[in-house]
Chain A
C-alpha cells in the first residue's frame, strides 16, 4: 500500500469518526424507576440487586412497550437511610420524585419510614410498590381511603398476619412429626423470643394458639437480640423438658443460639423465625452446629414456580449472595412492565387499574393483589416457605413434600427431619 493510499484511508477513518461523533444519539424513550431503600444495609442492597437484574433482562428484551413505542428502563438508586432516620427517608422520597423525576418507585423496608414515604408518594400520585415492610396497616390505608392510597401496592413479603400464620403452621408440622415419630401426644414447647417489640405479638399469640393446637408451654425465655451467650437459657429449657423450641429471632442472637443449641445437643426441635438462618452464611457462622435448625423463609432452591431457581441462580451470579425477600424488587419491575404494557400509557391511574388486574406467576409464587393492594397469601398464591438446614444445605420442608398442606407441593421439597440426638433422647 503506497503512502497516498494509506493517507486516504486515514483521512476516511478520521472523517468517519468526526461524523459519528457529530451525529445525534438515537432518541431512546426511558422509564425511570426509583429503587428506594437503606442502601448501606443488606435489605437496600438486595432491593437494588433485584431491580438491577430485572431492568437488565427487560432492557435486553427491548424494554417496555407503551402503546407502539419501546421504552428502556433506567434505574435511580435512592438511599433512604431509613434505618437511622425516618425524616431522611421521606426527604429521599421527595427528592426521587421531584428532583430525579422518577416515574415509579419500588422498595422500602422499615415500617415507620415506609408510612412516611408512602404519604409523600401518594401526595404526588406516584405508584410505589412496597418490597420490604410487612405491616398490615400499610394496605389497610388503601381499603380505608382508596382515592388517596391507591398508588401503593405490596409485592413482598406476605403481610404480618400471614407471616404469623405460617409461623404456627411450621410449629404444627414439627409437633405432628414428634407425635408420629416419638409418640408424644402433647409436645412441650419452650418459647425463645428475642427481647424486642415485634416478637411480643407472636409470644402473646403462642399462649392463645398452642394449647388449642395440643401443645403445652413450659416457659418463656427472652434473651437480648445481640446476646452472645444463651447456654443458661438452653440448659433451663432442657431442664423444663421441652420437646420444641419455638424461636422468634431477628438479630445476631440467631447465630449464637443455633450454634450453642447444636453444641449442647439440646433434645428439642428448633422451629420458628430465625432471620440469620435464612442466609447462606448461616452454616459457616455456626460452624455446622446449626444443622436441623428450621425457619420461615421466602426463597429456597425449590420450584415454587418454574421461575424460582433460575432467578436464584442469576441473582447469586450477579450479586454473589442468596436473595432475601427484599430482592422482590425483581418481581415488582416485571409486574410494573406488564401493567404498563396492558395500560398502553404511563398515566398513573391507568397503570393502577392494570396493576389491580395483575395475575403473574412469579419467583415466589402466583401474585394476585387483594382489594387492599396486598399480595394474596394461600394455596395457589404466595405461601412462604419453611426451610431446614440439612447437612450444609438449606432445604425446603414446608409446604410438606407429601402435599399434606392443602395439596401444595413444590418440586425439590424434602421431608422435615428431627435432630437425631433429640430422637435418641426421647425415643420410646
Chain B
C-alpha cells in the first residue's frame, strides 16, 4: 500500500521528522548518535510545549552547530562553560527551561569544574551529555572517558592506565552530589533504547521546568568515524565494551523514585 492508500483507509502517520528540527542537512557523519539525540530533544520540547521557553546552551565539539538544527533559542558557550552559562540563563530567566547539550570532551574534560559545581549548586537545568569516549570533532583524540586499551589518534597503542590514568565516569561522580535530582545513563543504539532515552530526556526537561534541581542525562554514544568502524559495528562495539564501564540505567531519581 502507498502512503495515500493508507491515509484513505483511515491510517495515520506514526513517525516523521520532528516539527522543531529544521529542514537542513546535519553536518554529522553517517550513523552519528548526535542526530538521534537532536531528534529526541526536538520531539520532547515540542511535546512539552516549550518552543518559546526552552533555551539551549550549545557546546564546543561536534554539537557546536546544534543551534542550526533545533528551532529554539540557543546560546553558544565557550569550551566547557555551558553549565556556567546555563546557570546565568536560568537564574535571570526564571520562566525559561534551560538545558545544555555537551559532549564528553566538553563536559568531562575542560568543563569538569563547571559541570561539578553547577550540579553541586543544584542549578535548575537539564544537562544532556553525549559520551562517545573520544574527541570526535578534532580528529579522534583521547578523551577522559576513553576506555582502557581503546585506540585513538593520540593513543595509537591503546589507552594505558599508567600513562593516561583511568577512564572518568563523571555520571557516577555527579550522582553523589546533593544538587542533582535525576541522574541517568541511556543509549540510542536500538529502537527500544531510543524510546527509553526519550523518556529520560523528557523527565530531565520536566525537572528543569519545575525547578527540582539539576538533571543529568548521559547518552552513551558511538563515534564511528573516530572509532574507524561502520555505524553498525560501532553499535556492537559499544554494547560489548562501553556498557561494561558505563552500564545503562537510572542512577538517581529523587523526584519520582520507584
Is chain B a partner of chain A in the same complex?
Answer: no
Interface residues, chain A, with chain B CB atoms under 8 Å away: none
Residue numbers of B with Cβ under 8 A of A are none
